[in-house]
Amino acid sequence: MRTLAELKDQAKEIQLFLETESSTNPEELSFRILKLMTFIASSGEMLSEAKKLLRSRKSSEISKTIIAIAKEQCLSASVQNALLDSICDDEAFLVDFIERVNRTATHQLDACRSLLSYEKEQLKQVNYGN
């Protein structure tokens, strides 16, 4: 399993690709579709790994910090959860970030398919007119 830093770096690489503007050239759209399908698959796996890291960190922190504080100060469950969320901030951010990367890639894939269909239809109309 990858580390938090490795997952974050890979998510940033995918994000850079997602931020690049797409052309309407059918060959470039086809390439982008293939790339996006790969990113959707890999970001799905990354999301699972990031969630596992988050659960692991929460479990570890519960056993150490939260239980000790709760025994001494009788913190409410909501305060304990808020404390736990703040302790696991990096892991939670990574889960959110990778989830957004995955969703953005999915939306871009749909858009590229629509653009490719449009370009094919335009080509049919041009060829039909000749």
Q: Give the model's pLDDT for residue 103.
A: 96
Structural Rg of the chain based on CA atoms: 22
**Measured distance CA(28)–CA(116) in Å, rounded:** 9
Distances (CA, A) of 76 to 46, 55, 80, 89: 33, 21, 6, 20
Q: Give the model's pLDDT for residue 130.
A: 63
What average pLDDT values come out for the chain (130 residues) when binned by 10 residues?
95 97 92 96 96 91 74 74 85 95 96 92 83
**Measured distance CA(33)–CA(47) in Å, rounded:** 21
Q: Give the model's pLDDT for residue 59.
A: 86
Q: Which of 57, 16, 50, 39 is nearest to 106 (CA)?
A: 39
Q: Which residue, chain included where needed, has tokens 């449009």?
A: 118
Q: Give the model's pLDDT for residue 54.
A: 93
Q: What counts of helices (H) and strands (E) characterise the chain?
A: 5, 0
Q: What's the whole-model pTM score?
A: 0.77
